[in-house]
Structures are given as C-alpha cells and as structure tokens.
Amino acid sequence: MKIMVPVKRVVDYNVKVRVKSDNTGVELANIKMSMNPFDEIAVEEALRLKEAGSAEEITVVSVGPKAAQETIRTGLAMGADRGILVEHDGDSEPLAVAKILKGVIADESPDMVLLGKQAIDGDNNQTGQMLAQLMGWPQGTFASEVALADGSVNVTREVDGGLETVKLSLPAIVTTDLRLNEPRYASLPNIMKAKRKPIDEKTPADYGVDMAPRVTTLKVEEPPKREAGIIVETVEELVANLKEKGVI
C-alpha cells in the first residue's frame, strides 16, 4: 500500500503574524516557516500505518517555492521515503493545488492520500474535498481516528454532534484533525538521513495546471485592539452598556 501526504510551507504557528505596511498581505520576509501543523499530523499518521505493516511507501508532496524543500525534508526526517516538489513561487489556491495533486496521483498511484484538513495561513479547508471530487474518490474529513481494514478504511470524524464513523473503499482521501495523533520529533540521525533521500522536482506545467489566481485580495488588516473591560454593578447597567455599544 502506498500513501501520499501533501504538505504545505506556512508561517510557523509560534510566530506572531504581522501585516505588511501596504496592507497587501502578511509579512513573510525573515519569518520562520515550517510545515503546516495539520499536515504534520497527516505525516505522523502515515508513519504509524507503515510501522503497523499496513503501508510500504510514503511520499511527501508540496506545491510551493524552492524553499519548500525544507518542509519536504522535515517529512523525510520524520520517516517518509520520498519527496516531490512542484515548484511555484506565487500564491497557490486550493483548486489549483488539487489539480496538481490529481496529476501526481496519476503518476504515483497511491492507495490513500492523507492531508491536513486545512492550512493555518488561508484556513480554506478546501483542498482535500476538491481533490476527492476531481478523483471521484470517497473522502473522510476531520479524522480523529483512522483504521485500515481489508480494502477499506474506517474514519472516525469529528462533527457538530460528536463523532461519526464512515467506511471508505480504497483508494480514498482522508483529511486529519488535531486530535488524531501527536507528531513525533525527528531525531538527529534521521535528519541526516533525510538529506540523502530523493526529492523529485516538477512544475505546474508538467501537469497542465494554470496557477493564475482566481481570487483577488483587496486589503489585509489586523483586527482592532480589544478595549479594556468595565465592571458593572447591576444587570440593568450591563444591558444599558450592551445597548449603547450596539451589541443588543
């Protein structure tokens, strides 16, 4: 069984995000970048399936700039076998990424695609669902548990009412949620080994995908600073303040 794990290079979740002075986007110069946390969970789950004897090969795929090789190397240091970088310097919208992943699937023939439910930069939560539609494959989103069976996978999903378990025939698309697992840290020997693991380099043109953006960002602003709270003595005073501020 082969597993493919798409990963994205994003601003590290520990970094305080700053808006550019011209309000065109988020400041990325000299900012620490890392693997999207949800994708890191997907890599970990793929590794656990391999360690359990359910998978033979794990391929990590990223669509992004040349520097996204570092993100792929992180996955390889965790234990993945191969990497594929589809190099693109501009913004990568979910539909374009899904189309590229469809092309990669055609070349690699994985039995399962495991990816994070969303990236922490755009928070779109779209790529997995779009890929499933393009491929015509079953999908299990927001997975908090993944269990392989004979020719199928049982995915426990987090939904508004609690948990739901769905059975998917393979090949399938699974997107991971936070509570699926706790990703491991790469050991120093594995980091050194990762430098020798192969990374194939491709371009969107290799898959016939137009990366021209379909969404235009008009303006990016920081949220307004929170005002200091006030202490009220009575319910009536509370209601009056809420009415004054237009809350009710």
- Say if residues 88 and 54 touch (Cβ distance below 8 Å): no
Q: How much is the pLDDT for 224? A: 84
Q: How much is the pLDDT for 248? A: 61
> Mean pLDDT, 10 residues at a time, over the chain (248 residues)?
97 90 86 95 97 96 96 96 95 95 97 96 94 97 94 93 94 96 93 93 96 90 84 90 77
Which DSSP symbol is given to 95? H
- Looking at domain 2-223, what is its CATH homologous superfamily? HUPs (3.40.50.620)
Contacts of 51 (CB under 8 A, 6+ apart): none
Q: Which two tokens stand for residue 203?
A: 């371009």
Please tell me whether the overall predicted TM-score, pTM, comes out greater than 0.85 for this model: yes
- Judge if the upstream peptide bond of residue 171 is cis by omega within 30 degrees of 0: yes
